Amino acid sequence: MIYNIVFVILFILGLYTVLVKKSMIKMVIGLNIMESAIFFWVISLSNTGNLIPILQTYMEEKAVNDPVPQALILTGIVIGASTTAFLLTLIIELKKLGGSINLDHIKGLSE
């Protein structure tokens, strides 16, 4: 319930940043906020109020949270970091070629 509300707020904020802001760096920040919202939401699905899925001993009753979404999100975080680094590299090149990272002032893009 509360997880869904927080997910929707974060996702909408990220989407608003991507759609409205003119600076490329702010767009990357918005994409990262959307990404984090999805990670947060999938992790919240695995939360059933039990222990974390890291056992201390051989336990008799295995009342732990679902480990599968957590493994999936670990993959997602790594891929998100890679794509963010690549996007920032492309922005560095754009600054060099177009003279600006603002969408209104890039040479050769407007008009």
Partner 1 sequence: MRKFIVMFLLVFLGIFLYFNLSYLPAEKMISNNVSQHYINSGVKETGSFNLVTAILFDYRAFDSLGESTIIFAAVSGIVLILSRKTLPVSSHGLTFIVKRTLGLLTPFIFLFSIYLMTHGHLSPGGGFQGGVILATISIIFCIVYGSEFDQKKFSPQTKTKLETGGALLFILMGILGVIFENGFLDNLNLFNGEPGSLISAGNIPVINLGIGLKVGAGLAIIFYSMIQKTFGEETDH
Residues in a beta bridge with 51: 64
With CA atoms as reference, report the closest residue to 36 among 84, 68, 1: 84
Strand partners, 64: 51
Work out how close the CB of 44 gets to partner 1 at its nearest, in angstroms, rounded to a whole number.
8
Among residues 48, 97, 99, 109, the one that binds partner 1 under rule CB under 8 A? 48
Could you tell me how many residues of this chain bind partner 1 (CB under 8 A)? 48
Our CB check for partner 1 shows the closer of 62 and 105 to be 62
> Nearest Cα to 64, choosing from 76, 73, 77, 55?
55
Report 6-45 residues binding partner 1 (CB under 8 A): 7-9, 11-12, 15-16, 19-20, 41, 44-45
Give the one residue of 22, 92, 97, 105 binding partner 1; rule: CB under 8 A. Answer: 92
Is residue 109 a contact residue for partner 1 (CB under 8 A)?
no
Residues near 52 by Cβ (< 8 Å), separated by ≥ 6? 64, 65
Q: Hey, is 22 helix, strand or coil?
A: coil
Quote the DSSP letter at residue 61: S
Binding site for partner 1 (CB under 8 A): 1, 4-5, 7-9, 11-12, 15-16, 19-20, 41, 44-46, 48, 52-58, 62, 64-71, 74-75, 77-79, 82-83, 85-86, 88-90, 92-93, 96
